Structure 1
């Protein structure tokens, strides 16, 4: 496991970095919360892309000369 603070390599089972002495263990609850937030982010990105596409379509139609 690479230390997020000093980037040194550590064994995957360690809780504290051997080089800088900082905590590198991540509680399972934080991992689960991060995963849930990443899923929500992806859903929001898709919704934003869809809304952007719809807005661009609407703006193109608005600029067309009427017959």
Structure 2
């Protein structure tokens, strides 16, 4: 099992990471939920960047009038 915190490899039955000593007995559902939230966060960042670019383009057009 790979530690979700430090990415060190541990035995599949490990409850605590041998490298960073953090609890790695995280249910798979929580890991899947975290991954889903990270994907959504990344998508929102892309959408925010696009919105900012559109606003800047509108502001430039207004200034050029």
Q: One fold, TM greater than 0.5?
A: yes
Partner of 1:39: 39
Segments of structure 1 that go 5 or more residues without pairing to the other structure are none
CA-atom RMSD in angstroms: 2.5
Structure possessing the higher radius of gyration over alpha carbons: 1
* Contact 1:3 1:24 (8 Å CA) reproduced: yes
Paired residues, number: 62
Consecutive aligned runs of 4 or more in structure 1 exceeding 6 Å deviation: none
Segments of structure 2 that go 5 or more residues without pairing to the other structure are none
